[in-house]
Structure 1
């Protein structure tokens, strides 16, 4: 869990970033969430943290991963890719977003 994290929706609005084209891909070894993070603000972010939780078919958490994006400039984008090796991972949710602007 990320300290001071906002929900996905609050984070996108507050930090003026978009988490877009998020999709779940599964194979016999892992479950992967891929997408893109776009900085629509006029700030450079020193880092952005994204907390992704993976759930089984019953809705129980089976894994949680935090991805870090560094030095994202205004108008810049970053390809997000995080994965779970849990054989039970069936769905996901972005549960936390935190960003720190560069000084």
Structure 2
């Protein structure tokens, strides 16, 4: 019915005595920042950010050496997840 339009948010707009709702396009919207790896900007596959059970996340049993975590800006540490690709690349490059 709406083609590529998906209701991301509904913004009420007053017009006369009734509300008309404006739907924003989401087809070309980037994913939320918490879904992206802060190092490569690709999908980090974070179960928590996706609303899934945290215990199901790939990173639960993964190793994140301090050298890898130091690559993150201080403001992002403990706030966004590094993707598996960046984690594995670091482990290969560092020999850890």
Question: RCO greater where, 1 or 2, for CA within 8 Å and sep 6 or more?
Answer: 1
Do the two structures share a fold, i.e. TM-score over 0.5? no
What range describes the TM-score normalised by the shorter chain of this pair? under 0.3
**Structure with the higher helix share, 1 or 2:** 2
**Structure with the higher strand share, 1 or 2:** 1
Q: Which has the larger radius of gyration?
A: 2
TM-score (norm 1): 0.22
